[in-house]
Amino acid sequence: MRYKFSVACLVLCLLVSDELFASVIYVNKAATGSGKGSSWANAYTNLQDALAAAKAKDEIWVAAGIYVPGKNRTDAFRLKPGVALYGGFNGTEKAVNQRDWAANLTVLSGDVLGNDAAFANNSENVYHVVRGADKAILDGFVITGGNADGVGADSFGGGMYNVGVRPTVRNCIFFGNAAATWGGGALCNSAASPVVQGCVFFGNSGGFGAAMRNHYFSSPAVRNCTFSGNSTTAEGCGAGMFNDRSSPLVQGCIFSGNSATSAGGAIFNCFLSPTMRNCLFAGNVALGAFRRACAVDNQWYCSPVLENCTFAANEEMAWAGTTMNSQRSSSPSIRNCIFWGPVPQGSKGALIDHFDGPISMSCCNIEGGEKGPFVRNGGEPANSVGNINADPMFVGGPNGTWTQNATYDARTLQSTFTDAQAAWIPGELKGKFVQPDAGGVLQYVIVANSATTLAVWGDLSATALNGKPYKVHDYHLQKGSPCIDAGADLADVTNDLDGTPRSTDGNGDGNAVTDIGAYEFVE
């Protein structure tokens, strides 16, 4: 008994001492003190030195600045198991919650020579900027300039490459990362299941998965992320996300302005069963020879689950307008989703193209109805209950004409569009979508607005030119929308894309039922 008690005591003491000795290690490129990492004044100036010194449960706090992993293409910031990295400090904070990571950009850059110009001059950049580790946390960083154009493992995951690990990636911005044919320009998960939360992916490039690639049985949880303006190369698929033999949970995410050269403007799925819930797909395109699935493409025995997603204005440039495509024995289950506009052009047009395998569709609002003309399906959908065909009555938004050329600010990573004639309420357009060229297809989620300007992620200075007409879109529901209370209450869908509780009685008729689409109506 005494022995057992002693052992328990020893274990407790070890646990307590481990907690006591877990420490904060400081990194600030501009620090001029002892450089031992013990305080902001004496911070390490090199993040690699801090990583070398860290042990499990330590936290590394990194102040604003640009940090490059090394001089060689194989250098990377290799996270350590159980070590948390926090970026976004100004170098005075005493607590993590005092930092402002959007204002104090802490950049992990793979651009060794600091000479990148878009995707030019990146042949000397590192293959992977960050390599993940189990139970590591990466929170509040900008990851840019990775170029996975090598062979084997060095052809995946330019920004971050996770192999068989479960890190947490939060509040990070991935932009300007590239990978070769097999993709995962920003982030590749290989038999890895990280949590990816509150991150933004824009302006990344790669073949199969310009922003994110999940393969070899990866099951990441991707929540509240924005995928905007990513583009595949060559005959690439899945500009936002490419899932191969993987079943990610994709929840509360926005996909806008993504462009696939082949199929799957937003997401390409093959094999296994991703879940997409409370996601909004607007203004994505597929451009290539196959011209298929501007938003989601499902191939090869893939059984994705789609719940409370809104698909609006996803369009191909010149051919038929297929929003979602499923073939080769793929069998999606679709509940509470909106598929609306634009009306496809020509006889080949379809919002949903389904070739074989059962499709299950219930409580959806589909332009033209579940049996066409914009649904091409070998037979009637299974579980065909509660599907409607009625204008969803999106809130919509203002139109106008830009009064000057757009500008890009490298300090905020955002482009500003200007209409001097506008009189918007500051902040009212945040989260809505702008089609900067009303004659084009692509739309981008709006990050902020003033009375006469609005901001979007990335360098889009060439897309909103003086004199060009634009449109703003808001895919929330108007009062009286047929989507209100027309969905089915689903156990896993407890909130909407805004975080509003589901099964809300938003229209005050005494009936609290889930709405169709990504947003719950609240009067």
| Residue with Cβ nearer Ca ion (314 or 507) | 507
Closest CA to 398 of 419, 414, 367, 427: 419
CB of 223 to Ca ion, least distance (A): 22
Nearest residue (CB) to Ca ion, 162 versus 507: 507
Residue 215, strand partner residues: 190
- Strands 77-78 vs 84-89: parallel, antiparallel or unpaired: unpaired
Nearer to Ca ion, 61 or 521 (CB): 521
Beta carbon of residue 521, minimum distance to Ca ion (angstroms, whole number): 6
Among 515, 517, 518, 519, binds Ca ion (CB under 5 A): 515
Query: What is the smallest separation between the CB atom of 347 and Ca ion, expressed in angstroms?
Result: 37
Nearest CB to Ca ion, comparing residues 179 and 446: 179
- Asked whether 247 and 274 are in contact (CB, 8 A), the reply is yes
CB of 101 to Ca ion, least distance (A): 24
Eight-state DSSP code of residue 152: G
Nearer to Ca ion (CB atom), residue 264 or residue 506:
506
Task: Fill in the per-residue mask, 165 to 194: x = in contact with Ca ion (CB under 5 A), - = not in contact.
Answer: ------------------------------
Find residue 231's DSSP bridge partners: 205, 259
321, 341 in Cβ contact below 8 A?
no
Q: What's the closest the beta carbon of residue 172 comes to Ca ion, in angstroms?
A: 21
- Map the footprint of Ca ion across residues 400-429, applying CB under 5 A: none
Report the 10 Å Cβ neighbour count for 501: 11
Token output for 439? 């004659």
User: Is 100 or 391 the residue whose CB approaches Ca ion more closely?
Assistant: 391
**Length of the chain (residues):** 523
* Residue 5 Cβ vs Ca ion, minimum distance, rounded to whole Å: 57
Residue numbers 478-507 binding Ca ion by CB under 5 A: 485, 504-507
> Residue 476 and residue 424: Cα distance in Å, rounded?
18
Q: Binding string to Ca ion for residues 435 to 474, with x set by CB under 5 A, is what?
A: ----------------------------------------
- Separation between Cα atoms, residue 503 and residue 285, nearest integer Å: 32
Nearest CA to 431 out of 248, 228, 246 is that of 228
The answer to whether the CB of 25 falls within 8 A of the CB of 61 is: yes
Q: Give the strand pairing for 352-354 and 324-327.
A: parallel
Residues from 316 through 355 that contact Ca ion (CB under 5 A): none
CB of 110 to Ca ion, least distance (A): 8
Query: 10 Å Cβ neighbour count for 9?
Result: 10
HSE of 86 in the Cβ direction (CA atoms, 13 Å)?
20
Cβ closest to Ca ion, residue 140 vs residue 487: 487
Residue corresponding to tokens 């995951």: 157
Number of residues that bind Ca ion (CB under 5 A): 15
Contacting Ca ion within 234-293 (CB under 5 A): none
Peptide bond into 342 cis (omega under 30): yes
- Least spacing, CB of residue 173 vs Ca ion, in Å: 19
Q: Is 511 in the site for Ca ion (CB under 5 A)?
A: yes
Q: How far is the CB of 74 from Ca ion (least distance, A)?
A: 15
Comparison of 367 and 515: residue with beta carbon closer to Ca ion: 515
Minimum Å distance from CB 485 to Ca ion?
4
Quote the least distance from Cβ 117 to Ca ion, whole Å: 9
- In DSSP notation, 272-303 reads E--EEES-EEES-EE-SSS-B-SSEEEEEEE-
Binding mask 107-146 for Ca ion (x = CB under 5 A): ----x-x-xx----xx--x---------------------
Q: Which is nearer to Ca ion, 185 or 332 (CB)?
A: 185
CA distance 70 to 52: 14
Q: Residue 509 pairs with which residues in a beta bridge?
A: none
Say how far apart CA 51 and CA 25 lie, in whole Å.
Answer: 9
**How far apart, in Å, are the Cα atoms of 52 and each of 48, 61, 134, 169, 475?**
6, 14, 16, 20, 48
We find the least distance from the C-beta atom of residue 126 to Ca ion, in angstroms, to be 10
Element (H or E) spanning 60, and its range?
strand 59-63
Comparing CB distances to Ca ion, the nearer of 439 and 480 is 480
- Judge contact between 266 and 240, C-beta under 8 A: yes
Give 125 or 310: the residue with its C-beta nearer to Ca ion: 125
Nearer to Ca ion, 168 or 500 (CB): 500
Residue numbers at the binding site for Ca ion (CB under 5 A): 111, 113, 115-116, 121-122, 125, 485, 504-507, 509, 511, 515
